[in-house]
Amino acid sequence: MSGPGLREPSQRVSPRARLVWLLEALVHSAVVLAVLVVLGPVWHVLDLPWWVFALVGGVLAAYDVVVPQWRYLVHRWEVTETAVYTQTGWWARERRIAPMSRIQTVDYVEGALSRLFGLASVTVTTASSAGALEIAGLDKLLARRLVDELTVKADAVAGDAT
């Protein structure tokens, strides 16, 4: 049997998503560095060498630079007449398909940071135990149109979404 199958979706998220992901990574790194500064005196008692702190800082800096770009290259989505396709992850990739007949709810979310960059997320909840599909980093106007489109398509499919 052939068909669309579990393939790479065709649409990318907004390029501005990289900036949001970069800022989120920088905030996480700042928290880790703050913990290091606060716990530094305690670790000094344990006599950790200075290079351990430099190594942690280097790893955090690499994470901040690489992960947003990598996520942008991996995160994709697509909507067809019959299903919603997503691909997410940065270390491990996850591809999922949600048939229109299984869609229960479609949600639109603008986080505070995303809103500053004109971005939003669309979450598609299905009857799957694997959980909802999230398409993060969409231009907010595209996200609104996508919510409308998915709502109409899911409503047009016969069945009870279970």
- pLDDT attached to residue 130: 82
Long-range CB pairs of 77-83 (<8 Å, 24+ gap) are: 77/9, 77/11, 77/13, 77/135, 77/138, 78/9, 78/10, 78/11, 79/146, 79/149, 79/150, 79/153, 80/4, 81/153, 82/4, 83/4
Report whether 119 contacts 20 (CB < 8 A): yes
Of 90, 95, 96, 93, give the one whose Cα is nearest residue 72: 90
Rounded mean pLDDT for each run of 10 residues along the chain, 162 residues in total = 65 96 94 80 67 86 93 95 91 90 94 95 90 95 97 82 56
The hierarchical CATH code for the domain 76-156 is 2.30.29
- pLDDT attached to residue 1: 38
Report whether 137 contacts 17 (CB < 8 A): yes
